[in-house]
Structure 1
Amino acid sequence: MMTDELIFLEQDILTQDEVFDFLAQVSVVHGKAHDKGAVKEAFIAREHEGTTGMLEGFAIPHAKSSAIDQPAVIVVKLKNAIEWQSLDGSPTQNIFALLIPENDAGEKHLSLLSKIAKLLMNEDFKHQFKQAQNKAMIAELLRKNL
Protein backbone atom coordinates (compact mmCIF):
# COMPACT_ATOMS: atom_id res chain seq x y z
CA MET A 1 0.00 0.00 0.00
CA MET A 2 2.91 2.35 0.67
CA THR A 3 5.45 2.88 -2.13
CA ASP A 4 8.09 5.53 -2.84
CA GLU A 5 6.36 6.41 -6.12
CA LEU A 6 3.37 7.67 -4.11
CA ILE A 7 5.40 10.22 -2.12
CA PHE A 8 5.32 13.76 -3.51
CA LEU A 9 7.42 16.60 -2.13
CA GLU A 10 7.27 20.38 -2.53
CA GLN A 11 3.97 20.29 -4.39
CA ASP A 12 2.82 23.75 -5.40
CA ILE A 13 -0.89 23.33 -4.63
CA LEU A 14 -2.96 26.25 -3.36
CA THR A 15 -6.32 24.86 -2.22
CA GLN A 16 -7.91 21.79 -0.70
CA ASP A 17 -9.87 21.25 -3.93
CA GLU A 18 -6.59 21.22 -5.87
CA VAL A 19 -5.20 18.66 -3.40
CA PHE A 20 -8.18 16.38 -4.04
CA ASP A 21 -7.73 16.83 -7.79
CA PHE A 22 -4.02 15.98 -7.49
CA LEU A 23 -4.72 12.89 -5.35
CA ALA A 24 -7.35 11.65 -7.81
CA GLN A 25 -5.03 12.22 -10.77
CA VAL A 26 -2.15 10.40 -9.05
CA SER A 27 -4.42 7.48 -8.15
CA VAL A 28 -5.32 6.96 -11.82
CA VAL A 29 -1.82 7.57 -13.23
CA HIS A 30 -0.34 5.02 -10.81
CA GLY A 31 -3.00 2.37 -11.48
CA LYS A 32 -4.71 2.55 -8.10
CA ALA A 33 -8.02 3.78 -9.53
CA HIS A 34 -9.81 4.03 -12.88
CA ASP A 35 -12.02 7.13 -12.57
CA LYS A 36 -10.42 10.41 -11.52
CA GLY A 37 -13.75 12.22 -11.11
CA ALA A 38 -15.24 9.55 -8.87
CA VAL A 39 -12.14 9.44 -6.67
CA LYS A 40 -12.14 13.22 -6.25
CA GLU A 41 -15.85 13.15 -5.39
CA ALA A 42 -15.17 10.46 -2.75
CA PHE A 43 -12.55 12.70 -1.10
CA ILE A 44 -14.96 15.66 -1.16
CA ALA A 45 -17.87 13.58 0.19
CA ARG A 46 -15.75 12.33 3.08
CA GLU A 47 -14.58 15.85 3.88
CA HIS A 48 -18.21 17.01 4.05
CA GLU A 49 -18.77 14.45 6.83
CA GLY A 50 -16.16 16.24 8.94
CA THR A 51 -12.72 17.66 8.49
CA THR A 52 -9.75 15.36 7.96
CA GLY A 53 -7.43 18.20 8.94
CA MET A 54 -5.68 17.14 12.12
CA LEU A 55 -3.26 19.20 14.21
CA GLU A 56 -0.04 21.08 13.52
CA GLY A 57 -0.25 21.07 9.72
CA PHE A 58 -1.28 17.46 9.04
CA ALA A 59 -4.34 16.04 7.26
CA ILE A 60 -5.53 12.49 6.60
CA PRO A 61 -8.05 12.67 3.76
CA HIS A 62 -9.48 9.36 2.65
CA ALA A 63 -11.64 8.17 -0.19
CA LYS A 64 -13.65 4.97 -0.39
CA SER A 65 -15.05 4.25 -3.83
CA SER A 66 -15.79 1.56 -6.40
CA ALA A 67 -13.52 3.60 -8.71
CA ILE A 68 -10.55 2.64 -6.52
CA ASP A 69 -9.00 -0.67 -7.57
CA GLN A 70 -6.15 -1.04 -5.07
CA PRO A 71 -5.69 0.33 -1.55
CA ALA A 72 -2.89 2.85 -1.25
CA VAL A 73 -1.40 5.63 0.84
CA ILE A 74 -0.33 8.80 -0.97
CA VAL A 75 1.97 11.16 0.92
CA VAL A 76 2.15 14.80 -0.10
CA LYS A 77 4.27 17.58 1.38
CA LEU A 78 3.09 20.92 0.07
CA LYS A 79 5.44 23.76 -0.79
CA ASN A 80 3.23 26.12 1.24
CA ALA A 81 0.58 25.40 3.86
CA ILE A 82 -3.08 25.79 2.82
CA GLU A 83 -6.42 26.26 4.57
CA TRP A 84 -8.01 22.92 5.55
CA GLN A 85 -10.39 23.73 8.41
CA SER A 86 -8.19 21.60 10.63
CA LEU A 87 -9.04 20.71 14.21
CA ASP A 88 -6.63 23.32 15.62
CA GLY A 89 -7.27 25.93 12.94
CA SER A 90 -3.72 25.71 11.60
CA PRO A 91 -3.03 25.51 7.85
CA THR A 92 -2.10 22.12 6.39
CA GLN A 93 1.15 21.24 4.66
CA ASN A 94 1.54 17.48 5.20
CA ILE A 95 -0.99 15.04 3.80
CA PHE A 96 -1.43 11.29 4.24
CA ALA A 97 -4.21 10.29 1.82
CA LEU A 98 -5.81 6.85 1.93
CA LEU A 99 -7.39 5.18 -1.10
CA ILE A 100 -9.85 2.46 -0.14
CA PRO A 101 -11.66 0.18 -2.61
CA GLU A 102 -15.40 0.17 -1.87
CA ASN A 103 -15.49 -3.61 -1.41
CA ASP A 104 -12.54 -3.53 1.01
CA ALA A 105 -13.45 -5.02 4.35
CA GLY A 106 -13.16 -1.70 6.17
CA GLU A 107 -11.17 -3.09 9.07
CA LYS A 108 -7.84 -2.77 7.23
CA HIS A 109 -8.41 0.85 6.32
CA LEU A 110 -9.68 1.75 9.79
CA SER A 111 -6.60 0.12 11.30
CA LEU A 112 -4.26 2.07 9.01
CA LEU A 113 -6.16 5.31 9.63
CA SER A 114 -5.87 4.71 13.37
CA LYS A 115 -2.11 4.01 13.11
CA ILE A 116 -1.51 7.21 11.15
CA ALA A 117 -3.63 9.26 13.55
CA LYS A 118 -1.65 7.86 16.50
CA LEU A 119 1.62 8.68 14.74
CA LEU A 120 0.46 12.26 14.37
CA MET A 121 0.16 12.48 18.14
CA ASN A 122 3.82 11.49 18.47
CA GLU A 123 6.02 14.61 18.63
CA ASP A 124 9.17 12.74 17.54
CA PHE A 125 7.46 11.31 14.46
CA LYS A 126 6.02 14.69 13.45
CA HIS A 127 9.39 16.37 13.87
CA GLN A 128 11.19 13.67 11.87
CA PHE A 129 8.56 13.79 9.13
CA LYS A 130 8.76 17.56 8.81
CA GLN A 131 12.57 17.39 8.67
CA ALA A 132 12.68 14.61 6.06
CA GLN A 133 14.05 16.09 2.84
CA ASN A 134 13.57 13.27 0.32
CA LYS A 135 11.34 10.35 -0.57
CA ALA A 136 13.75 7.74 0.80
CA MET A 137 13.80 9.38 4.24
CA ILE A 138 10.01 9.61 4.35
CA ALA A 139 9.51 6.05 3.11
CA GLU A 140 11.92 4.69 5.72
CA LEU A 141 10.26 6.69 8.49
CA LEU A 142 6.84 5.38 7.51
CA ARG A 143 7.96 1.78 7.10
CA LYS A 144 9.62 1.90 10.51
CA ASN A 145 6.53 3.34 12.20
CA LEU A 146 3.65 1.71 10.34
Structure 2
Amino acid sequence: MGSWRGYSIAIARLKSQIDWDSIDEEPVDLVFLFAVAKEDESDNHVKLLATISQVLCEDEKVSELKRSTNPETFKKILLN
Protein backbone atom coordinates (compact mmCIF):
# COMPACT_ATOMS: atom_id res chain seq x y z
CA MET A 1 0.00 0.00 0.00
CA GLY A 2 1.39 3.42 -0.97
CA SER A 3 1.93 6.09 1.59
CA TRP A 4 -0.51 8.95 1.81
CA ARG A 5 0.75 12.46 2.47
CA GLY A 6 -0.90 15.66 3.53
CA TYR A 7 -4.24 16.03 5.21
CA SER A 8 -7.95 15.90 4.51
CA ILE A 9 -10.91 17.43 6.26
CA ALA A 10 -14.52 16.29 6.37
CA ILE A 11 -17.37 18.38 7.76
CA ALA A 12 -20.81 17.13 8.75
CA ARG A 13 -23.75 19.43 9.37
CA LEU A 14 -26.20 17.33 11.35
CA LYS A 15 -29.98 17.59 11.01
CA SER A 16 -30.37 17.54 14.77
CA GLN A 17 -28.00 18.26 17.60
CA ILE A 18 -26.21 15.50 19.46
CA ASP A 19 -24.65 15.42 22.90
CA TRP A 20 -20.88 15.71 22.77
CA ASP A 21 -18.36 15.65 25.55
CA SER A 22 -17.58 19.33 25.00
CA ILE A 23 -16.10 21.86 27.38
CA ASP A 24 -19.26 24.00 27.32
CA GLU A 25 -21.50 20.92 27.63
CA GLU A 26 -23.61 22.17 24.70
CA PRO A 27 -24.92 19.78 22.03
CA VAL A 28 -23.38 20.07 18.56
CA ASP A 29 -24.65 20.04 14.99
CA LEU A 30 -21.38 20.80 13.18
CA VAL A 31 -18.66 18.12 13.25
CA PHE A 32 -15.16 18.56 11.82
CA LEU A 33 -12.86 15.60 11.14
CA PHE A 34 -9.19 16.04 10.32
CA ALA A 35 -7.14 13.19 8.86
CA VAL A 36 -3.42 13.96 8.88
CA ALA A 37 -0.75 11.68 7.52
CA LYS A 38 1.79 10.63 10.12
CA GLU A 39 4.55 11.66 7.72
CA ASP A 40 3.09 15.16 7.13
CA GLU A 41 5.69 17.59 8.42
CA SER A 42 3.86 20.74 7.38
CA ASP A 43 1.73 22.71 9.77
CA ASN A 44 -0.96 23.54 7.20
CA HIS A 45 -3.58 21.48 9.03
CA VAL A 46 -2.79 23.35 12.24
CA LYS A 47 -3.25 26.69 10.46
CA LEU A 48 -6.57 25.48 9.04
CA LEU A 49 -7.68 24.31 12.48
CA ALA A 50 -6.80 27.75 13.91
CA THR A 51 -8.83 29.46 11.17
CA ILE A 52 -11.83 27.21 11.81
CA SER A 53 -11.55 27.79 15.56
CA GLN A 54 -11.63 31.55 15.06
CA VAL A 55 -14.71 31.33 12.82
CA LEU A 56 -16.53 29.09 15.31
CA CYS A 57 -16.04 31.74 18.01
CA GLU A 58 -18.17 34.17 15.97
CA ASP A 59 -21.89 33.51 16.48
CA GLU A 60 -22.87 35.22 13.21
CA LYS A 61 -20.41 33.12 11.20
CA VAL A 62 -21.70 29.93 12.85
CA SER A 63 -25.26 30.94 11.93
CA GLU A 64 -24.15 31.57 8.34
CA LEU A 65 -22.51 28.13 8.21
CA LYS A 66 -25.70 26.50 9.45
CA ARG A 67 -27.80 28.38 6.87
CA SER A 68 -25.48 27.67 3.93
CA THR A 69 -27.03 25.58 1.19
CA ASN A 70 -24.01 24.14 -0.63
CA PRO A 71 -20.39 23.15 0.02
CA GLU A 72 -18.94 26.10 -1.90
CA THR A 73 -20.82 28.64 0.23
CA PHE A 74 -19.84 26.78 3.41
CA LYS A 75 -16.18 26.83 2.37
CA LYS A 76 -16.31 30.52 1.50
CA ILE A 77 -17.82 31.41 4.89
CA LEU A 78 -15.30 29.23 6.69
CA LEU A 79 -12.20 30.55 4.95
CA ASN A 80 -13.06 34.27 4.52
TM-score w.r.t. the length of structure 1 is: 0.47
Is the CA contact (8 Å cut-off) linking 1:68 and 1:99 kept in structure 2? no
Report the Cα distance in structure 1 between the residues aligned to 2:54 and 2:76, rounded to whole angstroms: 18
Q: Which residue of 2 aligns with 1:84?
A: 20
SS in 2 for 1:87: coil
> Post-superposition shift, 1:68?
5.6
Report the Cα distance in structure 2 between the residues aligned to 1:70 and 1:106, rounded to whole angstroms: 8
Q: Which residue of 1 aligns with 2:76?
A: 140
Is the CA contact (8 Å cut-off) linking 2:19 and 2:27 kept in structure 1? yes
Q: Which runs of 4+ in 1 moved over 4 A?
A: 67-70
> Post-superposition shift, 1:139?
2.7
> Post-superposition shift, 1:87?
1.4
The two structures, once aligned, show a CA RMSD in angstroms of 2.1
Report the Cα distance in structure 2 between the residues aligned to 1:112 and 1:140, rounded to whole angstroms: 13
- Figure out how many residues of one structure are paired with residues of the other and give that number: 79
Q: Go from structure 1 to structure 2 and tell me whether the alpha carbon gap of 1:139 and 1:88 turns closer, same or farther (over 3 Å shift).
A: same
- 5+ residue gaps, structure 2: none
> Post-superposition shift, 1:110?
1.6
Among 7, 11, 15, the alignment partner of 1:75 is 11
TM-score w.r.t. the length of structure 2 is: 0.78
